[in-house]
Structure 1
Amino acid sequence: MFDTATLLDPPAATGRPSIPDWLDLPDPRGFRPKRKVRTVWISDIHLGTRGCNAALLVDFLRAIECETLYLVGDIVDGWRLRKGWYWPDAHNEVIRRILKMAHRGTRVVFVAGNHDEVLRDYAGLTFGGVELVLEAIHETADGRRLLVQHGDAYDGVVLYARWLAFLGDKAYGLLLRLNVVVNRVRRMFRLPYWSLSSYLKKRVKNAVQYVSNFEEAVAQEALSRGADGIVCGHIHCAEIRRIGAVTYYNDGDWVESCTALVEEADGRMHILDWAEENRRAAANPVREGELVA
């Protein structure tokens, strides 16, 4: 299991960890301005698995500035790490980037999910500037109250469709490994990232029905809690949808779709598809010295 202590310097003479030098190092020089937004939600990164698109996520985190960053569960995949250790440098870089954002003034709130459920025992504590919670209430710039939860609690409400029996933990893991191979071949031909697993999921009828049932169950919870909307992750399907009196937001994932939910300064919310952004950037590369609009 990931331990933030591995990224900190040894304790000082006071017994408290000193601030590591890398927290104050300047970011690599880039040729695009940072996007300044009010709030960002990301979830289902699944650090510790081969399917995690850590490099794309680091690129995204370097490209934004926000007042609040919500990590909406399944950031570290403790289930996989218990079966076998996999932790490349890119996964360390994700953690470093998040801690650096917290160090520089971004409020970082970690809502523990089912794959990193071990952290739920530490809800209410703060580590490296990251607040650990079971859920949160976010107030948007235009005054709406949003319940923020990972979403795994609603699996008991939704009737599992047959596709989930096929795409169980092992089968789904196999599909994600195939996804890695497909994109390795695409990189050889200088093609951008594309998700095979996401493509298949969106075309399986029972999968679509499962997602719809999940969304309605989550929206009902927000309504019962008196919230104007709910933000969650868990099912790896980014979506913004009005369901009755509430708005359902799902920020997607960084295994299949590589998406984030973003709130602008005026409270407007939208899904940012970073894989698509990179595809457009690859098609229209910016040369050094050019200005980005």
Structure 2
Amino acid sequence: MDKRPMEICIVSDLHLGTFGCQAKELLNYLKSIKPKTLILNGDIIDIWQFNKRYFPKTHMAVIKQIFSMASKDTKVIYITGNHDEALRKYADFEMGNIQLTDKIVFEINGEKNWVFHGDVFDRTTKGSAKLLAKLGGYGYDLLILINSLLNWSLKIMGKEKMSLSKSVKNGVKKAVSWINNFEQTAAELAIENNYQYVICGHIHQPQHRVVTTDKGSVTYLNSGDWIENLTSLEYFDNAWRLYQYDPKQFEETNKKSKIIQLQEELSVITQEVAFQVSM
């Protein structure tokens, strides 16, 4: 497969080190693109739920691929999020083509782009609420585990996958309202600061829309996640585009690793069930 060239690629909320991370699909995607700049917009390695008992080879392969891209003239900008906030004390660190920071502003074709993870708007990532959020993360991981078992069964039966967590989230009015408030707050701040684009992650909701207020308008973008949506943002031909992973594009690659992957999935699911039950 020929690599697709692009100016910028933004991915966020990979949550490497958790059961929900779709590392194989992410690795396929990263190997298929050739961006001049790769922006990792937070929650890349999930330090909140990091467990040395669970860090599969595919997760390590993603990290190796990112370093490989950096060694081949791709500028890699790692923006910290709340799940990898331990790295914030090293903000503004640079080594070769790799830069660590909390946020960036850059201009392209005369338009200002403001990129940050987005947890600054989320009260559940601060104070005592942070502990509840971490505990909720384990519950989310358990839901993802159940979902993986279900989808494994559906795959054997030749049926389409389904997302339990997305169904729950989309059905809860409070969650929908919180997402809308998040997007509106980000957009209003961007308009006040004369940015043309505001780009976030954090809420795992891919988006590309124009927000208009009485003070102006801005394009709000969200790169989604690599747990459920498998999305990214790509900039090429003078425009931002929202990309969603299509497994059909990688069928040949998947055929070669299918048997090995099924064996690994069974092993990982068995280990994770034992781990969750023992908690």
> What TM-score does the superposition give when structure 1 sets the normalisation length?
0.76
Q: Give the structure 2 partner of residue 61 of structure 1.
A: 30
Report if the CA contact (8 A) 1:42-1:253 is conserved: yes
Partners in 1 of 2:61 and 2:89 — Cα distance?
25
| 1:177 Cα deviation from its structure 2 partner | 1.7
Report if the CA contact (8 A) 2:27-2:62 is conserved: yes
Partners in 1 of 2:225 and 2:34 — Cα distance?
19
| 1:86 Cα deviation from its structure 2 partner | 1.4
Q: Give the structure 1 partner of residue 112 of structure 2.
A: 145
The change in CA–CA distance for 1:247 and 1:180 in structure 2 (over 3 A counts) is: same
Partners in 1 of 2:248 and 2:170 — Cα distance?
20
Aligned partner of 2:140 among 172, 177, 186? 172
| 1:256 Cα deviation from its structure 2 partner | 1.2
Using the TM superposition, name which of 66-75 and 167-176 deviates more.
Answer: 167-176
Report if the CA contact (8 A) 2:73-2:97 is conserved: no
Residue 70 of structure 2 is aligned to residue 98 of structure 1: no
Where structure 2 has 5 or more consecutive residues not aligned to the other structure, the ranges are 125-131, 256-279
Partners in 2 of 1:254 and 1:179 — Cα distance?
15
Matches within 5 A, 1:200-279: 200-244=168-212, 245-264=217-236, 266-274=237-245, 277-279=246-248
Which digits, 9 at most, give the CA deviation of each residue in 1:59-89, with x for residues without a partner? 00011111111000000000101x6641010
Where structure 1 has 5 or more consecutive residues not aligned to the other structure, the ranges are 1-31, 158-163, 287-293
Aligned partner of 2:153 among 179, 182, 185? 185
Report if the CA contact (8 A) 1:33-1:63 is conserved: yes
Structure number with the higher helix fraction is 2
The change in CA–CA distance for 1:138 and 1:195 in structure 2 (over 3 A counts) is: farther
Report if the CA contact (8 A) 1:99-1:129 is conserved: no
Query: Segments of 4+ in structure 1 off by > 4 A?
Result: 190-194, 279-282
Aligned partner of 1:40 among 2, 5, 9? 9
| 1:33 Cα deviation from its structure 2 partner | 2.0
Partners in 2 of 1:246 and 1:59 — Cα distance?
32
- Corresponding pairs, count: 242
Query: One-letter code of the match for 1:151?
Result: G
The change in CA–CA distance for 1:39 and 1:190 in structure 2 (over 3 A counts) is: farther
Partners in 2 of 1:78 and 1:183 — Cα distance?
26
Partners in 2 of 1:238 and 1:280 — Cα distance?
20
> What TM-score does the superposition give when structure 2 sets the normalisation length?
0.79
Q: Give the structure 2 partner of residue 154 of structure 1.
A: 121
Partners in 2 of 1:42 and 1:281 — Cα distance?
19
Residue 45 of structure 2 is aligned to residue 76 of structure 1: yes
Which digits, 9 at most, give the CA deviation of each residue in 1:80-113, with x for residues without a partner? 01x6641010010000000000000011100000
Q: CA RMSD in A?
A: 2.5
Partners in 2 of 1:73 and 1:193 — Cα distance?
27
